Amino acid sequence: MAEEFPGWHGTTIIGVRKGGKVVIAGDGQVSLGQTVIKGTARKVRRLAPGGHEIIAGFAGSTADAFTLLERLEAKLEATPGQLQRACVELAKDWRTDKYLQKLEAMLIVSDGSGLYVVTGAGDVLEPEHDVTAIGSGGNYALAAGRAMMDGDMDAEDIARKAMSIAADICVYTNGNLTVETLDG
């Protein structure tokens, strides 16, 4: 029986909306099987299609995520200032296009007011409690973030603390963060 090639693992991305700000934060770890390949990957990016600032974080295959980010930028250029519509159009293409269907990644995107998770299953989800997370440590970060939402911490502090908690629990998440913020 041939040994299977170990899968790529890694990343935790969190999006938090609170107090007129949206923060997307992500760790920098990329792992192959049980080996850390890189600890400083940048999985949260700032985009500016058509002059409208967008922040995006991705979990999954880096090449696949970049393909999706390029497609999202094209959708945003076709529908300037309409992030939700662009996300829905991207999700439709992702679900129906034979090439895109093979992509293995998820996105969290925001324009400062909307906050969305976009998946290859055709979903465009807006979090109910203004916190969302994806990736290998996503559930840990989500639980921690939700627990802190009612306190006095601002969006960035919640994102940073939730990522720290996820990094303490998930072996595929580290504490090397990239954090991007937009005002609502």
Residues with catalytic annotation? 11
Beta strands (DSSP E) in 10-162 are 12-18, 21-26, 30-32, 35-38, 44-47, 54-60, 105-110, 115-118, 124-125, 131-135
Q: CA-to-CA distance for 155 and 68, rounded, in angstroms?
A: 26
Query: Which residue, chain included where needed, has tokens 């999954």?
Result: 60
Contact between 124 and 95 (Cβ < 8 Å): no
Instruction: Give the angle 48-13-167 at the CA atoms, nearest 5°.
Output: 145
Considering only CA atoms, give the Rg of the chain.
16
